Amino acid sequence: MPRTIEPELLDSLPHDHPDAQHNRRDLRLTNRIVGTHRWLARTLPPLLRPGERALELGAGTGELGQRLSGAGVTVDGLDLWPRPAEWPCERQWHVADLRSFDGYAPYAAVFGNLIFHQFSDHDLAILGAQLRRTARVIVACEPGRRRLSQILYGALSPLFGANHVTRHDAHVSIAAGFRGAELPTALGLNQAEWEIKSGTSLLGLYFLIAVRRA
């Protein structure tokens, strides 16, 4: 199953469109079932040193960043969507394209939940070149690219009321997901400079943990 990138319907909708709002509800349920937020809340904090700041790519509704803030992580957000009303006033929210964003330097850690798969290997190489200059920690949760995951999600998603945007985008997202060392390779991370762990869980969650070697 080769990696393929196709447009997601959500990207064509205003952030306040009813279908986009329904999709965010579906994503909350999906994250809860697959455990992406729990995994990030368990994985990221121990990797940070005192005083280090983290930046969430594709921060969306800000729910994950707020959860990590509650766990003591200093988190700012980056997204094309506007700052959520609930985002803490003391934390920054950058409205920008992650490929052209020029403010990565203050962040020792950069992480993303279901965001890296939206970009081609070419775009990931551009992003990786930026992150490698300043980041010490890179963490990602992404779809694992498996045909079985597409079949299961297609069969089960109607049971929790997923709308047409969610069902379409989930199929596309899984096809654009990762296996093995594909994501760290696309980002230009190498074992000589980074301690890298990646793999796919039984529930289809692909994970990457990359920590710069001393």
Q: Which of 62, 66, 93 is nearest to 78 (CA)?
A: 93
pLDDT in tens, 202-213: 889 999 999 999
Q: Is it the case that residue 179 has pLDDT exceeding 90?
A: yes
pLDDT of residue 214: 86
Residue 15 has pLDDT above 90, yes or no: no
Question: Does the pLDDT of residue 115 top 90, yes or no?
Answer: yes
Query: Who contacts 5 (Cβ-Cβ below 8 Å, separation ≥6)?
Result: 118, 119, 120, 176
Separation between Cα atoms, residue 177 and residue 148, nearest integer Å: 13
For the chain, what are the domain ranges? 36-146+179-212
In 10 A of CB 203, how many CB atoms?
A: 12
pTM of the model: 0.94
Residue 22: both structure tokens together: 């329904």
State the sign of the Cα–Cα–Cα–Cα dihedral 42, 48, 49, 51. Answer: negative
- The CATH classification number of 36-146+179-212 equals 3.40.50.150
In this prediction, residue 146 carries a pLDDT of 95
